[in-house]
Structure 1
């Protein structure tokens, strides 16, 4: 059908929410008959295999040689401009060899700008997909500050890519609405929501009681979080809520699987808590073992802080939890409200409010009679609206519109 080159920040074999979404997109597009390959920029940190292209999970990826360089802290933009140039040059080389019909770039803006530059030289249409505004992600991660020079530069680059791309894709309404307020025509933007590869997340494992006991979880209800420990995830609020939850559900336990920048502070907070005996850190686990830990959890909790990042961006993890047949509870930030209908597919509670979190969680844990119905409704929601094997077909209309437009322009010029 269509040959598509995806331009990426990083990819498999690295494991992150970014690479898992990419894998799902490419696999689903192959299932629809498209030919797809990926190309990563210089920030892909996995060791090169020497293959050209590399193959991971039966998907093919080209790499851009070299590493980011330049005085980042003193002159924001110089190193990034060099990265863009190197990636644009690599796109052109791969495109002349493999002959894609579409360049599909995924945020951040560095890859998008390189694709726009290469697309103009090659005469290829460019789709730019925004998964998050990376200046806001840096604020949420604690590596940037709103309004700083780097923040404004990143935002300006994003605006430039959006103007230069032939079509724009976002993962949610929050991002689309923000772009429209910046003056981007709504007709240029398509929403491609986060999805789940049900072939991977669609067959939950049975709970291993012996494994649960070995981790100190006992038989009580288990609240879980599986993911990266960034400050914006609000895990400090969840830990702060645990004594109040235990006051109403004394056998409840909290299982935290993962790691990240906030881990040391969270472990210290938990150790000082009167609920320390009920809070269990596992650390990072291989991706192929995640299902085993999901099976131990009754309610997966996402207590994200209220900020621009979490209000605009829908996360992937709640959908994975629903696919696993888990109850979902989350703070009522904008990104969660797009995915979760309170009382139907999940439970919403006030953000930045440990007491409100505890009250909602205790009520959910205390109403076991509705658990099966809630899980069934949530699973059906994922199957209906967030299965990648279905959602990936939405790209086809974007691609075909651009290819038809290109053919019309070529015909008129002839």
Structure 2
């Protein structure tokens, strides 16, 4: 099968942890790798954001990344990319006139917009994964939402026009249903985790020295919605514990990040500055060991479209305390692999953390259960199985629709 992956701002070549580099990059990279290993011909189209990038970059597994000229070849915030999507789509239309893919899988709403422009002239079926929905973002961020005003309308139009929408969790599927997208065209295909890299025996890599009896760890992009401030405030009621936060710019520059400065101020006001450490960007090779060094991994965002960190922790056999939002509701089994608690409630975080830290045997059982859950549901092989099935259904449905349309002419 010839598969075109379109990911306008999230290149599989980018290192996760930046403001616009996170779960989508990981998803596209690993799904592409897994599909290529199965013999599919996969090309990932992403925007050229530097002048010295080659037109095409072969990946080790056989896939290719193509850098699309759309706007200036510099890094731009994703919320400023909308004016450049017509050029992106026109490039796709030209590329697909030369070599037509069997199916296009678009990642994020602007990728879907460009993919629709590229695919429509050639009758190529389109599968859409939003990764995050404008309706959810606007609901939680209100006036702080920097997304283009047109986003929600375009997402609704895309969802109704494409052949299939892949939601990453049940919560997103329900949101799509509420947007008027027919449930029969929605399939849930979650994110995954590399269960060989993230493993309970992952004892290689560097980890910061432990200073207190208990270590709590939070990881991800250094942005307000991740809720690190809630974990810091909870720390005031969790004695003998340190909180490490991984993510953002490199360690030497983390103090220049506005969100890092805000979190530092909160820690000082809460009287826990001596127990909070901002690690900055963590080398991917060190991440499994860092997770394994924690007694408990905290994932406390206000909202979360999916959330890969809980999977990484569970794959390493570490229990997870997560807010009861979005994809956490699917991945974290409350009372089995960790705990789900209400968002924006430092008191609930503190109560649950103290309970888990007091029971080492329970934590170990949660860790074992988490690893088993990952192997059953969240390996990249299982994600690719589900994506392949959707592609084949999409192609079959498209063939029937094309034949029907031809017969009625």
Report the TM range for the smaller structure's normalisation: 0.7 to 0.9
Matches within 5 A, 1:192-231: 192-202=189-199, 204-206=201-203, 215-218=208-211, 220-231=213-224
TM-superposed deviation, 1:89:
1.2
Deviations 1:29-68, CA, capped at 9 Å, x for gaps: 1233321110013xx5355432x32234544111211426
Q: CA-atom RMSD, angstroms?
A: 2.7
How many Å separate the matches in 2 of 1:46 and 1:135?
31
Higher mean C-alpha displacement, 267-276 vs 293-302: 267-276
How many Å separate the matches in 2 of 1:66 and 1:152?
21
Q: Structure 2: any 5+ residue segments left out of the alignment?
A: 16-21, 249-256
How many Å separate the matches in 1 of 2:327 and 2:403?
43
Q: Does 1:67 align with 2:71?
A: yes
Deviations 1:134-173, CA, capped at 9 Å, x for gaps: 4644776x69546x9x654110011111122111111111
What does residue 407 of structure 1 align with? 399
How many Å separate the matches in 1 of 2:215 and 2:50?
35
Distance of aligned partners of 1:270 and 1:324 in 2 relative to their CA distance in 1, 3 Å threshold:
same
Distance of aligned partners of 1:11 and 1:402 in 2 relative to their CA distance in 1, 3 Å threshold:
same
Distance of aligned partners of 1:261 and 1:46 in 2 relative to their CA distance in 1, 3 Å threshold:
farther
Distance of aligned partners of 1:128 and 1:291 in 2 relative to their CA distance in 1, 3 Å threshold:
same
Matches within 5 A, 1:284-323: 284-305=281-302, 309-310=303-304, 313-323=305-315
What does residue 225 of structure 2 align with? 232
Residues 167, 186 of structure 2: 8 Å contact kept? yes
Distance of aligned partners of 1:408 and 1:357 in 2 relative to their CA distance in 1, 3 Å threshold:
closer
| Aligned length in residues | 386
Matches within 5 A, 1:239-318: 239-246=232-239, 250=240, 252-259=241-248, 261-305=258-302, 309-310=303-304, 313-318=305-310
What does residue 2 of structure 2 align with? 3
How many Å separate the matches in 2 of 1:364 and 1:133?
33
The alignment partner of 1:14 has SS state of: coil
How many Å separate the matches in 2 of 1:167 and 1:337?
23
TM-superposed deviation, 1:352:
1.3
Deviations 1:75-100, CA, capped at 9 Å, x for gaps: xx9972x4221111111222233331
TM-superposed deviation, 1:235:
1.0
Distance of aligned partners of 1:117 and 1:241 in 2 relative to their CA distance in 1, 3 Å threshold:
same
TM-superposed deviation, 1:379:
0.5
How many Å separate the matches in 2 of 1:66 and 1:122?
21
How many Å separate the matches in 1 of 2:361 and 2:284?
32
The alignment partner of 2:197 has SS state of: helix
TM-superposed deviation, 1:373:
1.6
Residues 68, 79 of structure 1: 8 Å contact kept? no
What does residue 45 of structure 1 align with? 49
TM-superposed deviation, 1:348:
2.0
How many Å separate the matches in 2 of 1:114 and 1:382?
34
What does residue 389 of structure 1 align with? 381
Distance of aligned partners of 1:95 and 1:273 in 2 relative to their CA distance in 1, 3 Å threshold:
same
Please give the TM-score of this superposition, normalised by the length of structure 1: 0.85
Higher mean C-alpha displacement, 224-233 vs 198-207: 198-207
TM-superposed deviation, 1:127:
0.8
The alignment partner of 1:330 has SS state of: strand
TM-superposed deviation, 1:334:
4.1
How many Å separate the matches in 2 of 1:54 and 1:183?
39
Deviations 1:102-155, CA, capped at 9 Å, x for gaps: 111111x22112211221101111111121114644776x69546x9x654110
What does residue 165 of structure 1 align with? 162
TM-superposed deviation, 1:281:
1.8
The alignment partner of 1:201 has SS state of: coil
TM-superposed deviation, 1:193:
0.9
Q: Structure 1: any 5+ residue segments left out of the alignment?
A: none
Distance of aligned partners of 1:144 and 1:292 in 2 relative to their CA distance in 1, 3 Å threshold:
farther
Higher mean C-alpha displacement, 199-208 vs 274-283: 199-208
TM-superposed deviation, 1:376:
0.8
How many Å separate the matches in 1 of 2:230 and 2:123?
51
Deviations 1:278-329, CA, capped at 9 Å, x for gaps: 2222112232332332232121101222xxx43xx22111011101111111
The alignment partner of 2:236 has SS state of: helix
Residues 229, 261 of structure 1: 8 Å contact kept? no
The alignment partner of 1:401 has SS state of: helix
How many Å separate the matches in 2 of 1:226 and 1:78?
26
The alignment partner of 2:270 has SS state of: coil
Please give the TM-score of this superposition, normalised by the length of structure 2: 0.86
How many Å separate the matches in 1 of 2:50 and 2:139?
25
Residues 40, 61 of structure 1: 8 Å contact kept? yes
